[in-house]
Amino acid sequence: MMEFYEANKDLLLFAGASAVKVLVFLNAVMGFTALLTLAERKVSALMQDRIGPNRASLFGLALNGLFQPVADGIKMVMKEDFVPGRAEKLLFALAPFFALVPVLALFSVIPFGDYVMVFGYKFDLQIADLPLGLFMVLALSGLAIYGVFLGGWSAKNNFALLGAMRGAAQMVSYEVVLGLTLAGLLMIFGSAGLQDIVRAQGRLLFGWLPAWGVVYQPFAFILFLVAAIAENKRTPFDLVEGESEIIGYFMEYSSMRFAAFMFAEFVEIILVSMLAATLFFGGWQVPYLYETGFILPGGAQLPLNHYLVSAMQVGAFAAKTVFFSWFLLVVRWTLPRFRFDQLMNLCWTRLLPLALLNILITGAVLLALGKV
Amino acid sequence: MISVKKVDNRPLNFLERLYLPEIARGLLVTTRHFFVNLFNPKGIPTVQYPEQTLPLPHAARERTRHRLKVRADGSPKCVACFMCQTACPAYCIHIEAAEYPDNPVEKYPAVFDIDLARCVMCGMCVEACPEDAIAMDTLEIPGGVLDRNALKLGREALLRNLAGEPSLKGASNRLANDYLKSRGQA
Amino acid sequence: MPRITIDGRPIEVEKGVTLLEAAQRLGVHIPRYCYHPKLSVSGNCRMCLVEIEKAPKLVTACSTEAADGMAVLTMSEKVKTARRDVLEFLLINHPLDCPVCDQAGECGLQDYYMEHSLAKSRFPAEDKVRRQKRRVLGPHLVLDNERCILCTRCVRFCSEVTRTSELEVMERADHSFIDLKEGRALDNGYSLNIADICPVGAWTSRDFRFKQRVWFLKKTPTVCLGCATGCLTEVHHNENTIYRVVPRPNAETNTWLCDAGRMTYKAVQAGDRLAKGVIKNGLIDLEPALRETASRIDEAHGALAVLGSPWLSVEDNAALARLAKDALKTADFSFDFSAEQGVKDGILINKDPAPNAAGARRVQAAFGGTSFAELSAKVASGAVKVLVTEARAAALLKDALKAGGARLIVFAANRSEIPAGAYATLPYASYFETPGTFINFQGLERRTQPAVTAAEGVKPLWAMVNKLAVYSGTSLRLESAQDALKGIDLK
């Protein structure tokens, strides 16, 4: 036993640390997702001068609706799990997993902090530091189409199938734009590893401006945001399925299977927010905060404890994520919906040429600066 | 009256066709509402019904929960003529008539049920009543219950006089008044 | 033959026809309270006043006989004014009882007021004459003198139709009121007709009183099955409950309806209605009851007899005949009922209390069978082991059954009908719930119409017979009442 331990000490340590990271990070994400379902309703309520859900209570304690996600969950579990008689039973059961699992898997490549030293060991605050993380992101988000299409097709319902067709067309189209907008970043930072990209954003331009992605590529950021919302199938691009008025691909789903699709959508919000923060807003970087503490542009220093620095970095990442999640909610409850032809038109005749133009300009500038 | 609204149909200018500035403007409006309401929830006009109610405007006072008026001897003014049940467009009134052995009014409602879950609060029953026996002036707004049966009102739940009643003013039933006088209750 | 014109339309009538009847033939309705086609003319209500050209005063249409050359106006201004005034006059002392009055909705005063007056009364309500209110008179009626307009229809009904003369107008002038003669009771057996003919709410039925407002009632034309007379009736019902039965006046049989006939509907919604089978004295579900009955029939090995019933419709009797002939394969069945028929009291009630003896004879003509006496003798001799019949018909064989000791299988609608000693009883839908053909003592075909629906599982008798036959191994192929009627000449 001890021999095995001695021989594989590093491996065991890596496995244990990874398990802890997965548990902590994914649980944080899940908890935040549950809160996000509440936030969606509360934010929309406040924007519309309403109060929002505040009745669900535990032992008479309502806490202004904090238990609403619990009540929703119980309700979902209690509902009848209906499977249409002519459905493809296996695929019908698998589709919710296809919707949820790729999204959850994506969190493994997102760095939520720099590193932390525990008992002399250095732990990266990222579940898996893949050198090609960015491509992993694009690949897995492409997989999410399976959830949509299998859900729509296996139900053997014409309306669900039509919804799935719309969804697949939309996701395939915006996938292209999403990839191309990120190409500019790739060229600038010269790495496809997300941790590398974040670290590269820790530098300063002109001695005072944080070298965040949005500074290099403001235009790509807007394109990314649009494409990501479309990829996420949220308003103003929610014509794949609109809760009350458009029949969508999961119309035959009920109970927890339906909840899985809904949950996937909210997890995607978090994912998009994290990606936006990671790629364009410095990830866990706090301006002027380095490993040893704050170093302001004037040269003033404020040395800080390593753990405090790490906590601040993780906190900064969380704050950025929360901000973008909130921003996506606000966008949803502000904008009206596109028509399908407008949606496709926007993608292929506006966003795609603009994305290509962005790459061209980025390349030209890099060439002119002699960075290639 | 047909009102005419002139719509400004000028073509969009370049900035507007870009969408982004307009989207930003829209976001600004909603965000302002969000933060104003977040830090000043008192400004939200939502009323937490049924714990909290608003004072009713005058016209609405005549369209609140029903009541059956009571004579001085405790009997209902209603004579079970079925006019309200006939007039009711929602079929929410159910009456079963019975006969008094002594009272010369002869007829009274042994059962008088109103299903508020069905009622549309139109007030036709009040209009139809020839005895001025049913009224909708309790100022209670039905609803906000956890059990559907709580909206079913029986005769005892409906029988209620407001302050100052019963008075013979407006009492249309001569037989009832004579009977009460003969028993010294009027 | 006098030729007259009414509102400009010419008509020629026989001598002695009144203006009101002549107008009726032209389809002109002249309002009336005291006039009734089957009662003598009284002419006291003045509602039927019409104008005759060149006559100095208005005349009552009900009492004026048509004379050659009369030009009658029923809608002239003078007539309209007269109607309005007569109504105001009648309403001076009429109490404001409409909310509690059962007549509301079918009241002559309400109807004519809406049609001919709509005027506000010029007399204060407090000065209305007070009279005796609610008073129970007889087993079926309540009298309210205050509502009475003294048309005397009720008085004339009692003296002319029932010839019992219990009622009289007491006092004189504006003190007059309707009252029972001293020492008399209003129990002549036709008293509920008074509630029908009373144009206002003075006479109301104790049975119908306060049960339902008349405008909620739905009306189904049907036939009274109280006796062989077969009066045409109308059943008034609402939400699957029958509230009253009233006559449907016709030239052939009846204008009125007896009190007993009006009460026949009570059995339909009585508490002892059968919805399940009865074996000996225990209630049992229909299917096991049928199975048990069928096995008793099989046990008898052909020693079976079937007796039809004059209380059942032609269809149901025919179904019983088919059961005997095709399923039980016995020659011992009888549809021979020969009770004396004819109107007993000179008004409506028949000597034969069963409604369909004539219909049973039609079944006999089509299917044959033995005479009632032969069947009775056979049952008494003990050669019959099982007898299938209807509950009330079983009473006709009471003595023979006692002597022969046959097992009795009966069809009954109510538990109280079941004769003592019946082995098995099967329920069936009454004729308020299912259509049926009857033939009355005059030989006229009478069809009942269903007014209400039977309890779940309770089927017409022919359908029950069909089921019983299936349980004992033969299909009679009775899919509808029409199937049962095949081959029977109703004429």
The full 3-state SS of chain B, as one line of letters, equals CCCCCCCCCCCCCHHHHCCHHHHHHHHHHHHHHHHHHHHCHHHCCCCCCCCCCCCCCHHHHCCCCCEECECCCCCECCCCCCHHHHHCCCCCEEEEEEECCCCCCCEEEEEEEEECCCCCCCCHHHHHCCCCCEECCCCCCCCCCCCHHHHEECHHHHECCCCCCCCCCCCCCHHHHHHHHHCCCC
Rounded average pLDDT over C58-79: 94
- Do the two chains C and A touch, given a threshold of 8 Å on CB pairs and at least 3 pairs? no
In a domain, A53, yes or no: no
Please give the pLDDT value at position C351.
Answer: 94
Rounded average pLDDT over A351-357: 94
User: Using the beta-carbon criterion (under 8 Å), do A47 and B46 form an inter-chain contact?
Assistant: no
Cα(A140)–Cα(A128) distance, rounded to whole angstroms?
A: 15
pLDDT digit string, tens, across residues B38-60: 999 888 998 888 888 888 887 77
In a domain, A327, yes or no: yes
Chain C CA closest to residue B130: C99
Chain A CA closest to residue B39: A46
Are C395 and C408 contacting, i.e. CB atoms less than 8 angstroms apart? no
Chain C CA closest to residue B98: C210
Domain that holds residue A138: 82-368
Cα(A158)–Cα(A166) distance, rounded to whole angstroms?
A: 12
Question: 10 Å Cβ neighbour count for C101?
Answer: 23
pLDDT digit string, tens, across residues A278-336: 999 999 999 888 888 888 887 788 888 889 999 999 999 999 999 999 999 999 999 98
What are the residues whose beta carbons fall under 8 Å from the beta carbon of C91, sequence distance 6 or more?
A: C109, C113, C121
Please give the pLDDT value at position B172.
Answer: 61
- Helix H or strand E segment including A164: helix A158-189
User: Using the beta-carbon criterion (under 8 Å), do B29 and A334 form an inter-chain contact?
Assistant: yes
Any chain B CB within 8 A of the CB of C477? no
User: Using the beta-carbon criterion (under 8 Å), do B86 and C125 form an inter-chain contact?
Assistant: no
Q: By three-state DSSP, how is residue A117 classified?
A: strand
Hey, of B22, B31, B34, which one would you mutate to test binding to chain A, going by the most A CBs within 10 A of its CB? B34
Rounded average pLDDT over C1-24: 94
To the nearest 5 percent, what fractions of chain C are helix, strand and coil? 30, 20, 50
In a domain, A66, yes or no: no
Bridge partners of residue B68, in order along the sequence:
B134, B159
* Phi, then psi, of C235 in degrees rounded to 5: -95, 125
Please give the pLDDT value at position C313.
Answer: 96
In a domain, A114, yes or no: yes
Question: 10 Å Cβ neighbour count for B33?
Answer: 18
Question: 10 Å Cβ neighbour count for C409?
Answer: 23
Are C104 and C114 contacting, i.e. CB atoms less than 8 angstroms apart? no
Q: pTM for the full model?
A: 0.75
pLDDT-derived band of residue C105, with 50, 70 and 90 as boundaries?
very high
Cα(C141)–Cα(C146) distance, rounded to whole angstroms?
A: 15
Please give the pLDDT value at position B34.
Answer: 94
pLDDT digit string, tens, across residues C316-343: 999 999 999 999 889 999 999 988 899 9
Partner-chain residue, chosen from B98, B104, B130, that has the shortest CB–CB distance to C99: B130
Residue type, B99: E
In a domain, A311, yes or no: yes
Hey, of B83, B174, B179, which one would you mutate to test binding to chain C, going by the most C CBs within 10 A of its CB? B174
DSSP class of C116:
I
What are the residues whose beta carbons fall under 8 Å from the beta carbon of A324, sequence distance 6 or more?
A: A272, A273, A274, A276, A277
Are A123 and A115 contacting, i.e. CB atoms less than 8 angstroms apart? yes
Tell me how many residue pairs between chain A and chain B have CB atoms under 8 A apart.
Answer: 38
User: Per residue, what are the HEC states of C9-75?
Assistant: EEEECCCCCEHHHHHHHCCCCCCCCCCCCCCCCCCCCCCCEEEECCCCCCEECCCCECCCCCEEECC
Are C228 and C359 contacting, i.e. CB atoms less than 8 angstroms apart? no
Bridge partners of residue B33, in order along the sequence:
none
Cα(B34)–Cα(A333) distance, rounded to whole angstroms?
A: 11
Contact list in B for residue A222 (CB cut-off 8 A) is: 20
pLDDT digit string, tens, across residues A74-97: 999 999 998 998 999 999 999 999
**What angle do the packed helices A255-280 and A9-47 form, to 10 degrees?**
100
In this structure, what token pair is assigned to residue A357? 């133009």
Any chain A CB within 8 A of the CB of B43? yes
Residue A298, classified by CB atoms within 10 Å of its CB into exposed (0-12), middle (13-18) or buried (19+), is exposed
Partner-chain residue, chosen from A46, A222, A331, that has the shortest CB–CB distance to B33: A46
Q: Give the N- to C-terminal CA distance of chain A in Å, as an integer.
A: 53
In this structure, what token pair is assigned to residue A203? 């530098």
Bridge partners of residue C51, in order along the sequence:
C73
Whole-angstrom CA distances from A154 to A164, A260, C458 are 10, 16, 48
Q: What is the DSSP string of A201-217?
A: TTSEETTTEE--HHHH-
Domain count, chain A: 1
- Pairing state between β C424-427 and C407-412: parallel
User: Using the beta-carbon criterion (under 8 Å), do B82 and C216 form an inter-chain contact?
Assistant: yes
Q: Dihedral of CA B103/B105/B110/B112: which sign? A: negative
Residue C282, classified by CB atoms within 10 Å of its CB into exposed (0-12), middle (13-18) or buried (19+), is exposed
Partner-chain residue, chosen from A43, A46, A330, that has the shortest CB–CB distance to B27: A330
Contact list in A for residue B38 (CB cut-off 8 A) is: 46
User: Using the beta-carbon criterion (under 8 Å), do B26 and A46 form an inter-chain contact?
Assistant: no
Any chain A CB within 8 A of the CB of B38? yes
Whole-angstrom CA distances from A290 to A119, A197, A315, B132, B140 are 21, 16, 15, 84, 66
Cα(A117)–Cα(B153) distance, rounded to whole angstroms?
A: 71
Any chain B CB within 8 A of the CB of A247? no
Cα(A248)–Cα(A141) distance, rounded to whole angstroms?
A: 20
Chain C segment 388-427 residues within 8 A of B by beta carbon are none
Q: How far is B32 from chain A (nearest CA, A)?
A: 8
Tell me how many residue pairs between chain B and chain C have CB atoms under 8 A apart.
Answer: 38
Any chain B CB within 8 A of the CB of A46? yes
Q: How far is CA B158 from the centre of its chain?
A: 13
Question: 10 Å Cβ neighbour count for A292?
Answer: 13
Any chain A CB within 8 A of the CB of B19? no
Place of tokens 């919707």: A99
Q: Give the N- to C-terminal CA distance of chain C in Å, as an integer.
A: 38
Per-residue confidence in pLDDT tens, chain B, 186 aa: 788 988 888 888 888 888 889 899 999 999 999 999 999 988 899 888 888 888 888 777 788 999 999 988 888 999 999 999 999 999 999 999 999 998 888 999 999 999 999 999 999 999 999 988 999 988 888 878 888 899 999 999 999 988 878 766 545 678 888 888 888 876
Contact list in A for residue B39 (CB cut-off 8 A) is: none
What structural domains and CATH numbers belong to chain B? 61-161 (3.30.70.3270)
User: Using the beta-carbon criterion (under 8 Å), do A49 and B44 form an inter-chain contact?
Assistant: yes
Contact list in B for residue C217 (CB cut-off 8 A) is: none
Interface of B with C (CB under 8 A): 79-83, 86, 97-99, 104-107, 130-131, 172, 174-175
Compute the radius of gyration of chain C from its Cα atoms.
28
For residue A264, which of A129, A151, A139, A365 has the smallest C-alpha distance? A151
User: Using the beta-carbon criterion (under 8 Å), do B34 and A47 form an inter-chain contact?
Assistant: yes
Is the pLDDT at C389 greater than 90? The verdict is yes
In a domain, A19, yes or no: no
